[in-house]
Structure 1
Amino acid sequence: MNKDRGTIKWTSLMLPEHIQRLRAWENKLHHMPPKEKADWELEELHKTIQQAYQLKMPITFTLYKQDTWQTITGIITAIDLNKQHLLLETDTIVKAISFTAIQAAECDD
């Protein structure tokens, strides 16, 4: 006798249409474009980046690039205002990140 303690196997009860809609909804959430930032949000982002750069602290960026969201952590090695990007050194590579791709930044203490 199968003892599953009365739990119902929900996947067997879902219709293919439900699964299809759930997957579409999840994809839509992951591909939502970012909202426009207010001036105070841009100022906070700038302060966080400057603090991490000056103190050589690890920082985690949330990036929106090519309709996808990405999170990357590293140490800022250089900021180039002319080219509008910064260099982030991760564990494996040094990556150039455009200012326009940055949506959020958080210092890791």
Structure 2
Amino acid sequence: MNRDRGNIKWTAMMLTEHLVKLRDWVAEDAYEEKPTIDEWTFQEFQQQLDIAYQSKCELIIKTWASGEFTDSIGILQKRDLRLHLIYLTDGVTVRKINVHTIVGIQTIGFE
């Protein structure tokens, strides 16, 4: 029976600098670049938000922050045009989302 422990036997030989570099390398692989949003797409997002605000339909909003994409699901409760924020509620909590972090919007249950 082969009892090879893989990386366990090699970690004792690695220097701390090597481990730091390996962790940085793994974190770099997980990082995703922010897609560029042109003016037309941004206007389309604004129109979708206006329609969703008036019809109170549910939205899936994809945002980008710190190299990660996150999806938020809820109903658009309020818009703050001065601060470029929207308030999305899921019935329990209210999330503030900066409009400039939005990379995708999808409406649910809107014909």
Q: Is the 8 A contact 1:31 1:69 kept in 2?
A: no
* Structure 1 moving runs of 4+ over 3 Å: none
Count of matched residue positions in the alignment of Structure 1 and Structure 2: 88
Native 8 Å contact 2:35 2:103 kept in 1: no
Letter in 2 for 1:89: T
- Deviation, structure 1 residue 87: 0.5
Match of 2:101 in 1: 101
Find the residue that maps to 1:72 and give its secondary structure: strand
How far, CA to CA, are the matches of 2:65 and 2:53 in structure 1? Answer: 22
* Residues 10-33 of structure 1, C-alpha deviations (whole Å, 9 max, x = no match): xxxxx97xxx9xxx49x73x5212
TM-score by length of 1: 0.70
Stretches of structure 2 lacking an aligned partner (at least 5 in a row): 1-5, 8-21
- Give structure 1 stretches of 5+ with no counterpart: 1-14
Aligned-pair Cα RMSD in Å: 2.2
Q: Which residue number corresponds to residue 61 of structure 2?
A: 61
Structure 1 position 35, deviation (Å) = 2.0
- 2:50 match: 50
Separation in 1 of the partners of 2:66 and 2:90?
21
TM-score between the two structures when normalised by the length of structure 2:
0.69
